[in-house]
Amino acid sequence: MSEKVKGIVIRSNDRKEKDKNILLFSLEKGKVWATLKGVRGSGAKMKLAQNLFCFGEFVFEDGKAGKIVTGFDVIESFHEISEDIEKYFEATAVLEILNALEFSSETEVAKTFVLTLKTLKAICFDNNKHLYVLDKFLIELFKLNGFPLYSDKCSVCGSENFERVFIDYATGEIECMACRGFVSEEIPKTAFLALKFLSNTDFDRLNTLKLAENSELVLLKILVKNFESRFDRNLRLIGILS
Ligand SMILES: [Zn+2]
């Protein structure tokens, strides 16, 4: 029996002979491994389907050793991402984060899928400053998992009057100076403003933002640390943080 899904290639590994194993992040089934047969040979019909970021419609059949891709139509290859080193590192960071996630419901998969497409489009086509979209992706990911990071209020006393801002990574909450816990860490003001602006700006308006210099990188480190605490997974973000 064959099945059809809309998916994005988030990993692609060589297999024996000219085969490739691809990990798809799909709208219908979350993450699914499948094999592309003979795709490394020249003139292969489904050659595009082995490329990272490629978004398309995939048809599978169950084979002895797992799913075999028997049909593929490209919707958007996002091939421009692989032609620009900064875009490439930013977008592979998104794939690394997707690889680290586990999903508990179909709704969560669907929402994350839509978020991923918006993110890849914004990195690929919208002429955004480096790392703004990656920061936005993490901020939105926290929101859709039910633990938004940005708040204009202290999570303890409710005050909106911040002189200095702190984050408690154990809870992923923002605190004022008076309420901060022993392990809370200060967020530099410019990084907190970057968090606020990115949180309140839609993907298609990100290219109008101008954040304080370097605040996007300082914020990214805070977002990654929060991700690691919330999801109990470590991230490397090659080309950006390592
Ligand atoms: Zn407080």
Q: Specify whether the CB–CB gap between 140 and 78 falls below 8 A.
A: no
What are the tens digits of pLDDT across the range 45-95? Answer: 688 999 999 999 999 999 888 999 999 999 999 999 999 999 999 999 999
Based on the domain organization, do 46 and 113 belong to the same domain? no
Query: Domain containing 117 — which CATH number?
Result: 1.20.1440.120
Cα(164)–Cα(138) distance, rounded to whole angstroms? 23
Residue 210 in domain: yes
- The pairing of strands 66-76 and 165-168 is unpaired
Say what the pLDDT of residue 42 is: 59
**Number of residues in the chain:** 242
Residue 241 in domain: no
CA distances from 214 to 52, 84, 86, 113, 191 (A): 28, 20, 15, 29, 9
pTM of the model: 0.96
Q: How far is the CA of 7 from the centre of ligand 1 (A)?
A: 44
Q: Specify whether the CB–CB gap between 81 and 124 falls below 8 A.
A: yes
Based on the domain organization, do 108 and 67 belong to the same domain? no
Based on the domain organization, do 35 and 95 belong to the same domain? no
What are the tens digits of pLDDT across the range 180-213? Answer: 999 999 999 999 999 999 999 999 999 999 999 9
Mean pLDDT of the chain: 95
Mean pLDDT of 139-144: 98
Domain boundary among 45, 77, 109: 77
Q: How far is the CA of 226 from the centre of ligand 1 (A)?
A: 20
Domains held by the chain: number: 2
Query: Helices H, strands E: what count in the chain?
Result: 5, 8
Q: How far is the CA of 153 from the centre of ligand 1 (A)?
A: 8
Domain range for 32: 2-77
Say what the pLDDT of residue 15 is: 86
Domain boundary among 59, 77, 95: 77
> Between residues 94 and 43, which one has the greater pLDDT?
94
Based on the domain organization, do 60 and 97 belong to the same domain? no
- Judged by phi (left if over 0) then psi (alpha if -120 to 50, else beta), residue 84 lies in beta
